[in-house]
């Protein structure tokens, strides 16, 4: 049995994909009303209203009903991961804990695997990340993701792969974490470019310079460049910078258009930009795209001023 904590879009999509493959899946949601509704309708009316839950998927309101499991997938937002681990002692090291979130914790400046290891040092910790929209995974469309683990990676890869969900394995946890986190920041910037009507050429330039920022920080923290060139880095970057399915891209587009974005939608790149700038400052690394996103998101700078600052930076060799 595979346990999934978090019945948002991604957690539900993974439950559907794994359930369709014949695996027994137990899905936990913190909202008891949501649990009752999903049990009754066999659908997640909020996150994936058009997708039926397979019979192999059960929905639960108590974590004790989900653990122990062959693996426990933690599908909560990055900024909620520490609270989930701190608030539920039933999540222990009896099974592998696989983070399915992207970002950097604002309090500790750590990625999801480091948070798990800090709070559950006895557990096998891993991260599942890469270019996969929940709607595509739930519909059974071909998707490839990265599983980063230093222990039991091959076993987890076999357990979590299906005919439509193909997992590639790496032991570069730092690279996989940072690729998934930093691309959200660049996706916001790409959305700003398109929302402001600056054009596709500007988006291509922004994506390229944003990728250079990702590499600079990730390598300084010990990541391997080939990891950033893979699914969890470049692959995820391309997806989220070019599709309106990305919440980060849509948020950036709203900033570029000067419109209000739905505050109920989680936009991981906002907190990640703030945390990453603190990390980069300690390492003496320049990250102008990230700085622009943070300044725009916090309202410290107007859009025209942000664009002017980026375009007036000193000319240099690529």
Is 247 one of the annotated binding-site residues?
yes
Pairing state of beta strands 143-149 and 43-44?
unpaired
* Contact by Cβ (8 Å): 25, 4: yes
* Contact by Cβ (8 Å): 102, 136: no
Is 10 one of the annotated binding-site residues?
yes
What are φ and ψ of residue 82, in 5° steps?
Answer: -60, -45
Is 183 one of the annotated binding-site residues?
yes
Is 92 one of the annotated binding-site residues?
no
Is 236 one of the annotated binding-site residues?
yes
Angle between helix 78-87 and 268-283 (nearest 10):
90
H helix intervals, the chain: 9-20, 32-41, 78-87, 112-119, 134-138, 153-160, 173-195, 200-220, 225-228, 236-242, 247-257, 268-283, 288-297, 303-311
Pairing state of beta strands 143-149 and 48-52?
unpaired
Residue 230, judged by CB atoms within 10 A of its CB (0-12, 13-18, 19+), counts as: buried
Residue entry with tokens 């590639």? 168
Catalytic-labelled residue, pool 183, 202, 213, 253: 183
Task: Assess whether 316 carries a catalytic annotation.
Answer: no
Is 133 one of the annotated binding-site residues?
no
CA distance 116 to 103: 14
Is 243 one of the annotated binding-site residues?
no
Residue 64, judged by CB atoms within 10 A of its CB (0-12, 13-18, 19+), counts as: exposed
Is 265 one of the annotated binding-site residues?
yes
Q: How many CB atoms lie within 10 A of CB 286?
A: 12
Is 130 one of the annotated binding-site residues?
yes
Is 110 one of the annotated binding-site residues?
no
* Contact by Cβ (8 Å): 105, 79: yes
What amino acid positions are annotated as catalytic residues? 183
Q: What residue numbers does the annotated binding site for sn-glycerol 3-phosphate cover?
A: 102, 130, 183, 236, 246-248
Where is the binding site for NADPH, in residues?
10, 30, 102, 134, 247, 265, 268
| Binding residue positions | 10, 30, 102, 130, 134, 183, 236, 246-248, 265, 268
């Amino acid at each position: 049995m595979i346990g999934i904590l978090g019945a948002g879009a991604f957690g539900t999509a993974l439950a559907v994909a794994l359930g369709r493959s014949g695996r027994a899946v137990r899905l936990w949601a913190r909202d008891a009303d949501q649990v009752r509704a999903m049990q009754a309708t066999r659908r997640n009316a909020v996150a994936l209203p058009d997708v039926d839950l397979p019979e192999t998927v059960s929905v639960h309101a108590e974590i004790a009903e989900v653990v122990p499991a062959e693996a426990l997938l933690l599908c909560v937002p990055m900024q909620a991961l520490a609270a989930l681990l701190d608030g539920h002692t039933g999540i222990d090291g009896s099974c592998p804990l696989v983070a399915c979130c992207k970002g950097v914790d604002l309090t500790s400046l750590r990625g999801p695997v480091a948070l798990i290891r800090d709070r559950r040092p006895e557990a096998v910790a891993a991260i599942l990340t890469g270019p996969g929209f929940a709607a595509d995974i739930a519909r059974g469309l071909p998707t490839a993701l990265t599983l980063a683990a230093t222990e039991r990676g091959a076993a987890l890869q076999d357990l979590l792969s299906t005919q439509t969900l193909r997992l590639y394995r790496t032991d570069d946890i730092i690279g996989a974490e940072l690729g998934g986190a930093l691309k959200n920041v660049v996706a916001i910037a790409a959305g700003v470019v398109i929302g402001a009507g600056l054009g596709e050429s500007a988006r291509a330039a922004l994506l390229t310079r944003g990728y250079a920022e990702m590499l600079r920080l990730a390598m300084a923290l010990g990541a391997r460049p080939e990891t950033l060139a893979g699914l969890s880095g470049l692959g995820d970057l391309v997806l989220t910078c070019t599709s309106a399915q990305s919440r980060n891209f849509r948020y950036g587009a709203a900033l570029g258009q000067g419109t209000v974005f739905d505050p109920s939608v989680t936009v991981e790149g906002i907190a990640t930009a703030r945390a990453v700038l603190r990390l980069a400052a300690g390492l003496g690394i320049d990250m102008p795209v990230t700085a622009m996103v943070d300044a725009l998101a916090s309202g410290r700078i107007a859009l025209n001023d942000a664009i002017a600052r980026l375009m007036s930076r000193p000319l240099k060799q690529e």
